[in-house]
Amino acid sequence: MLQPEVREAFFRGCKDVDEAKACLEDPQALLGYMDRAGVDRFVLINYESPEVMGFTSETNDWILDYCKAAPDRLLPCVGPHPKFHDDLGAETQRLVDLGARMFKIHGPHMLVQPNAYQDDYPQLADMYRVLSETGIPVMFHTGTSIFRSARIKYGDPVTLDDVGCDFPDLKVIIAHGGRPLWTDEAWFLLRWFPNFYLDLSGIPPKRILQWFPRVAQIADRTMFGTDWPSPGIPPVKQNLDAVRALDLPAEAIEEIVSGTALRVFPPR
Ligand SMILES: [Zn+2]
């Protein structure tokens, strides 16, 4: 589905491109990659972004189908775009019933603000209501994006303040901690809202303690992630080893690489 220039940038920047391509074709290849990296479970992130990336509505059902190969290890994340679903509440419920474990709003790629239920997309509130009731988390991309037609104004985490105030039961995952422009904003929100979680994907491990020096205080709401196979992302094992080697208490590392995710995505 990828638009030609996105495809080019995507695979040019991927550091283990042959493995990534094999995994896209076949979940068994991905399970082997996970075994070699020492990873039990992956959340596989997909969302509709026809204009910027090329992902159509088919992407949601595609990943639900892909993950059937190993539902205990492959957790599907979907991202219905409010523009293409007038009854977004019903679509959200349909995807939850089919096994979606996480939803993603990628603002810079969907051209949607997380708080757009206040103006452009009132139906977004229906999605947040269904997710609040079912306990399924929603991840918001925060920070920049390297793709040419992405708009980073949609990546400013300050709009999540509205979401936290208006949907206090919603589990919100702040992807990439607002890096590199808004890590202070992200930190404030994480401290303020007890249902907010920090995702470390896309943050170079050596930057984690620079941008989040007190991350150990919220280790029980912080999750390891890689963003693999996005451009510039090292192979998963390399990334995991670097996070395990951070100068943090052993209990905090354990929460970050395992404990938090087990609570947010309890085994079924
Ligand atoms: Zn993202």
Q: How far is the CA of 79 from the centre of ligand 1 (A)?
A: 12
26, part of any domain: yes
Q: How far is the CA of 113 from the centre of ligand 1 (A)?
A: 14
One-letter amino acid for residue 86 of the chain? D
268, part of any domain: no
Judge contact between 265 and 75, C-beta under 8 A: yes
* Structure tokens, 219: 């280790």
Nearest Cα neighbor of 129 from 142, 139, 117 is 117
The answer to whether residue 247 scores a pLDDT higher than 90 is yes
Burial of residue 266 (CB within 10 Å: 0-12, 13-18, 19+) is exposed
| Residue 15 pLDDT grade (very low, low, confident, very high; cuts 50, 70, 90) | confident
Map residue 223 onto helix, strand or coil.
Answer: strand
Q: How far is the CA of 107 from the centre of ligand 1 (A)?
A: 9
One-letter amino acid for residue 14 of the chain? C
Whether residue 231 is preceded by a cis peptide bond, meaning omega within 30 degrees of 0, is: no
| Segment 76-131, tens digit of pLDDT | 999 999 999 989 999 999 999 999 999 999 999 999 999 999 999 999 999 999 99
Nearest Cα neighbor of 81 from 62, 64, 60, 101 is 60
* Structure tokens, 207: 């930057």
Domain encompassing residue 88: 4-263
204, part of any domain: yes
- Number of domains present in the structure of the chain: 1
The answer to whether residue 69 scores a pLDDT higher than 90 is yes
Supply the mean pLDDT for the chain: 96
pLDDT at 68: 98
Cα angle at 75 between 146 and 86, to 5 degrees?
70
User: What is the C-alpha to C-alpha distance for residues 268 and 261, in angstroms, rounded to an integer?
Assistant: 13
Q: How far is the CA of 142 from the centre of ligand 1 (A)?
A: 7
Q: How far is the CA of 108 from the centre of ligand 1 (A)?
A: 9
Cα angle at 174 between 169 and 180, to 5 degrees?
155
| Segment 202-213, tens digit of pLDDT | 999 999 999 999
Contacts of 33 (CB under 8 A, 6+ apart): 19, 23, 236
Mean pLDDT of 190-201: 98
Please give the sequence-ordered ranges of beta strands (E in DSSP) within 42-180, or none if there are none. 42-45, 74-78, 102-105, 138-141, 172-175
Q: Tell me, what CATH number does 181's domain have?
A: 3.20.20.140
Q: How far is the CA of 175 from the centre of ligand 1 (A)?
A: 6
Q: How far is the CA of 55 from the centre of ligand 1 (A)?
A: 14
The pTM for the full model equals: 0.97
